[in-house]
Structure 1
Amino acid sequence: MNIYVANIPFKASEQELKGLFEEYGEVSSAKIIMDKVTQRSRGFGFIEMADDAAGRQAITSLNGFNFLGKTLVVNEARPKSDAPRSGGGGYRSGGGGGFNRRNNNNDY
C-alpha cells in the first residue's frame, strides 16, 4: 500500500519517518520529497507498506499524530493519474503584437 504523508518536519529524516511507520508493519520504502534546486525537504513524502491492512492501521493511527513538533496528515496515496495536472488553460497565451511606441510625433 502506498501512503501519502504531508506536513513532515523539515528536520525529519527518511529513516525517522520509516521508523514511525514500522511500528505498524513492514515498510518497503520511505521517501521524503526534496526540492530539486535547494535540496531541502518539501515537507511531504511517501511510505510503501508491504501489507494493506497494516497500511490502513498506520493511516488511521498516524493521521493527526504529532511528529517532531508537527501534526502529520496521512492518507492513502492516489495514483499519479488521479492527481490534478498543472498548467494549461488560463490567460497565459503569451501576447505580443499591438502598438509600437518608437516615437510620439506621428510622422509615419
Structure 2
Amino acid sequence: MNGNRPRLYVGNLPYQLTVDELKDFFAGAGNITDVAIITDRGTGRSKGFGFVEFATDEDAARAQSMYNGAQLKNRTLKVDLAKPRQEKESGANKASSDGGGGGESNFG
C-alpha cells in the first residue's frame, strides 16, 4: 500500500470474505488501488478487518459515506479513515515505555 494514497480501515468483515469480494464491494465508490485483509500469522485466518486504498481523497470519502454501517454478508461494516501506522506505533510505544516498576520495596 502506498503511504500517499487515502486508505480506509474496514472493520467487522465476515471471516470468510476474500480480497476480491471486498474489492468488488467497494468498487462502486471509485478507483481502488489496493485491498488487504489482515490475517493471523499463525493460522492464516482473517482477523475480521482490512484496508482499502483509493486513488483520490474524493473516492475514499465517497466510500466511507456509502459503506460505513452497510451490511456485507449479514455483518455491519465499520469504515473509517485509516490512521498512519507510525501514529499507532508511537502511541503504543509511549504507553509501554512509561512503565517503570522495579525500585525498592518497603515490605518485609
1:20 is displaced (CA, Å) by 1.0
The 8 Å contact of residues 19 and 36 in structure 2, kept in 1 or not, is answered as yes
Q: What is aligned with 1:45?
A: 50
The secondary structure found in structure 2 opposite 1:23 is helix
Q: What is aligned with 1:32?
A: 37
Bigger fraction of residues in helix: 2
Q: What is aligned with 1:96?
A: none
Residue correspondences, number: 93
Q: Which runs of 4+ in 1 moved over 2 A?
A: 86-93
Q: What is aligned with 2:82?
A: 77
RMSD between aligned alpha carbons?
1.6
Against the structure 1 CA distance between its residues 75 and 91, is the aligned structure 2 distance closer, same or farther, given a 3 Å change threshold? same
1:13 is displaced (CA, Å) by 0.5
Q: Given the two structures, how large is their TM-score scaled by the length of structure 2? A: 0.78
Larger Rg: 1
Cα distance in 2, alignment partners of residues 39 and 88 from structure 1: 31
Against the structure 1 CA distance between its residues 55 and 89, is the aligned structure 2 distance closer, same or farther, given a 3 Å change threshold? same
Structure 2: 5+ residue stretches without partners = 1-5, 103-108
